[in-house]
Chains A and B, each alone.
Chain A
Amino acid sequence: MLRSVSLRQASAGIAALIVLTLALGFGYPLVVTGISQLSFSHQANGSLVYSGGKLAGSALLGQEFTDSKGNPLPRYFQPRPSAVDYNGAGSGASNLGPSNPELVKEVSERERAYRAFNHLPDSAEVPVDAVTASGSGLDPDISVQNALDQAPRVAAARHLAAARVIGLVRQYTQSPQFGFMSESVVNVLEINLALDGLR
């Protein structure tokens, strides 16, 4: 009895899997891809950003602004620390627990480096996003405070008036989507592209 029931259900199951693999495994993603490529091709392809005709990155992915030795370049806004060094071949977080001494050590070191790099006094508070790694390791954004703290350094490295770079930060501040759905942020790649475009 059990055997014949199982066999009957198994034959139905095999047929179901064949049909569903074709319909859901191929039909469904292809239909979605087709409509997406026709209606939202910019987004569907990764919100790519071109500079001088060459692919320069994605507006949604952070990237590094360092010299060949890995030192941050003062003339660019710097993104947050990353657990995957902004390599899009992977993604992920540090996964360090809140009580892990290693996390506290790393944050303290980053804090010191951030102050030195941006010529901030020892008493200055450092925005938390500047010294913590994101969940994806590809965070394209920094907080407005983080951008404002970096602005004088960027201006000095580019021989620009600080007010001009601060103005740029204001211009490139994305306010919360629909007023409340996100935090106010500055997209690092976009503002750095704008900096390079300044005459």
Chain B
Amino acid sequence: MNITGWEQLLFVCAVTAILAPLLGRYLAATFRDTMPAVTSSGTAAAPAARRKAPGDRIFLPAERLFYRALRVDPESSMTWQVYAVAVLVFGLLSCGLLYAVLRLQGVLPLNPARAPGMSPLLAFNTAVSFVTGTNWQAYEGETQASYLADMAGLVVAQFTASAVGLAVALAVVRGIAGSARRIGNFWVDFTRSLTRVFIPLAVLAALVMVSQGVVQNFSGFRLASTLVGGTQQIPGGPVASMEAIKLLGTNGGSMYGAGGAHPFENPTGFTNLFDLLLVIVLPFAIIFMFGRLIGRRKQALAIAAVMAAVFLGHTVVAMQAELHGNSQLPATVSQAATAQNPGGNMEGKETLFGPSGSALMTVGTMGTTAGATDSALDSYTAVGGTAAFAGILLGEISPGGDGGGLYGILVLALLSVFIAGLMVGRTPEFLGKKIGATQMKLVVAYVLAIPVVVLVFGGISLVIRPGTSSILNPGLHGLTEVTYAYASAAQNNGSAFAGLAANTPWYDITLGLTMLIGRFGPIILALAIAGSLAGARVHARTRATLDTAGATFAAFLVGVIVIVGGLIYFPMLILGPVGERIIG
């Protein structure tokens, strides 16, 4: 029995448990003064006084200049409608700019691989993919994107997508917990997220990566003469700077086709775990920030525990399955782990990471919008692949994207409060506010938006020629390639059962639309829910109030997550990986 993977898992859990609360404290201090009066232990607190945030002396001058350039008043606050318009308009503009860069990259500088401009459909798909934080890559990283497109196009979108996510989460918290009618200023949330969170952490993470062997240069391809007299192309590029925000911003898009499996992106066992930590620590920290901002740290702990439980669920199952190996291979192929042979299902995996380390990193990020991988999911065992799929289908709340994880699970918490309220015959309340018909309609729309897109587009793709002709693997596994693609796009995950030939007109268009709906649909609905609760009366906590910070509610929430994710997609999973496992 090989225990390396379990030691790695323990390490990841321990580091997250230590760092996430600390980082959450920093985040709370950073955004505290933007919170209007927030509820604290059931009573409305006094309006927050203008307090200093850490790093004001360094960041404030730059931020003030930025606000002046944008001609926005950082002291003003927006209604939820204006906030949503700001997010949408900025997303639209970002898509337009990125589309132009990708179309024109062939005639722009910094293009050592001589990548031609992308076709209109591929550029549309890629622009949408990065602006929505999905980072689905229908193009080949090494040859179809220039350095300029990577750094000045894709990386900028990775930064802004993550900052938009955090901004929306802050706005949702203000609406759900605060007692003001307005939910904050998008530009302030967005700017501070960048200057005080994503930029400093990205610089730091990139340098740590380079020290381990991630490349960071502008040399283009170098030609090496191999030992046996052949030649080998050695790629280059500003990889570490992209890798840092790819992971930190829960984006997932890489410079190279193989992503985190490429030794130049993920060279050591340390970077493999560091990459996973970069993805999951911040979404957990945002939950702890939430607890501090609303003055209910126990509530945050309950939510973090739910997320951790789901995370451990899909990750451990996948690690065990991949370690166990592929039963279809001949018995004379040694898949049993020993000290000299990591064993397991090694198709599509790197020797250095082994089967369990690969599954830990890859499936560990599946409950986030990163979907960063260090191994080929298409070659995972049926059980390992199901676990990865489950991370996406359960709504990406383990621990979710930066910001998206928080507002995603808050919506599910509202649903749980409502169901629990019906069961015990009490008026549903969350954080002291009554949840009524208006909120529940929006919650149901939120919960259904993504499955509808996935099932409709996935279903159509399975019966029409342009859909089925892209499938690589035969049988039920091929079906999963298609359904996985739509689920991944809709949840802005971006990982793939990559055998699917995705750069076709049908997939470029429909997956592009899926990503747009999957990103902006939930954002608008979450802001609408927040807007409907903003300024609502906060009721004092009584003995009759459902405790949403206890173990009972946490367990109930896990149940709702599994039922909502599991039941909606049940037929799809039976026809896909579950069937594959039974037949195989």
Q: Which residues of A contact B (CB under 8 A)?
A: 2, 5-6, 9-17, 19-21, 24-26, 28-29, 31-33, 35-37, 39-40, 43-48, 51, 54-58, 60-61, 63-68, 73, 76, 80, 86-101, 103-104, 107-108, 111, 123-129, 131-146, 148, 176-178, 180-185, 189, 192-193, 196
Contacts and interface: CB of A to CB of B under 8 A. Distances in A.
A97 to B, nearest CB: 4
Given A103-B347, A143-B341, A32 B203 contact: yes
B70 A189 contact: no
A55 B224 contact: yes
A134 B206 CA distance: 25
Given A5-B85, A139-B263, A88 B350 contact: no
A87 B326 contact: no
A20 B156 contact: yes
Contacts of B155: 24-25, 28-29
B261 A14 contact: no
A15 B50 CA distance: 28
Contacts of B325: 128
B319 interface: no
Given A43-B213, A196-B227, A10 B333 contact: no
20 contacts: A16-B90, A17-B97, A24-B199, A25-B152, A25-B153, A28-B155, A36-B217, A39-B207, A63-B232, A66-B230, A88-B234, A96-B379, A99-B382, A99-B580, A103-B328, A107-B329, A111-B332, A128-B346, A132-B347, A132-B348
B376 A144 contact: no
B56 interface: no
Interface stretch (B121-129, B264-272, B292-300): B264-272
B272 A182 contact: yes
Given A43-B210, A46-B217, A58-B224, A138 B262 contact: yes
Contact of B143 (A90, A124, A125, A144): A90
Interface in B357-408: 357-358, 373-376, 378-382
B27 interface: no
Interface stretch (B236-244, B415-423, B437-445, B517-525): B236-244
A182 B353 contact: yes
Given A91-B257, A98-B382, A26 B332 contact: no
Interface in B306-363: 325-326, 328-330, 332-335, 338-354, 357-358
B475 interface: yes
B159, B264, B351 — most chain A CB neighbours (10 Å)? B351
Given A87-B233, A90-B142, A127-B334, 17 more contacts: A16-B190, A32-B210, A46-B235, A46-B264, A60-B263, A63-B230, A89-B143, A91-B256, A93-B347, A107-B347, A126-B334, A128-B345, A129-B342, A177-B269, A181-B272, A181-B273, A182-B353
B454 to A, nearest CB: 21
When A and B form their complex, which 6 residue pairs have the shortest distance between CB atoms, in order from nearest? A182-B269, A25-B152, A135-B261, A181-B269, A93-B376, A95-B499
A10 to B, nearest CB: 5
B89 A9 contact: yes
Nearest to A144: B340
B40 interface: no
Contacts of A55: 222-225, 234
B221 A36 contact: no
Nearest to A10: B89
Contact of A9 (B85, B97, B235): B85
A13 B66 CA distance: 11
A7 to B, nearest CB: 9
Contacts, number: 400
A176 B333 contact: no
B4 A57 contact: no
Interface of B: 4, 7-8, 11, 66, 69-72, 81-82, 85-86, 89-90, 93-94, 97, 113, 140-143, 151-153, 155-156, 159-160, 186-187, 190, 194, 199, 202-203, 206-207, 210-219, 221-230, 232-236, 238, 240-242, 244, 256-258, 261-264, 267-270, 272-273, 325-326, 328-330, 332-335, 338-354, 357-358, 373-376, 378-382, 472-478, 497-499, 580, 583-584
A183 B264 contact: no
A48 B263 CA distance: 13
A86 B340 contact: no
A183 B350 CA distance: 10
B345 to A, nearest CB: 7
A140 B232 CA distance: 13
Contacts of A138: 258, 262-263
A148 B219 CA distance: 37
A124 B7 CA distance: 31
B202 A28 contact: yes
A93 B342 contact: no
Given A13-B93, A181-B269, A51 B351 contact: no
Given A10-B89, A40-B210, A128-B333, A88 B221 contact: yes
A63 B353 CA distance: 19
B86 to A, nearest CB: 4
Given A60-B264, A97-B477, A20 B159 contact: yes
Nearest to A182: B269
Contacts of B477: 97-100
A17 B93 contact: yes
Given A96-B378, A127-B334, A24 B89 contact: no
Given A13-B89, A56-B227, A127-B334, A86 B216 contact: no
Contact of A61 (B69, B156, B227, B264): B264
A126 B332 contact: yes
B353 A21 contact: no
A97 B334 contact: no
Contacts of B230: 63-64, 66
Contacts of B381: 98
B333 A46 contact: no
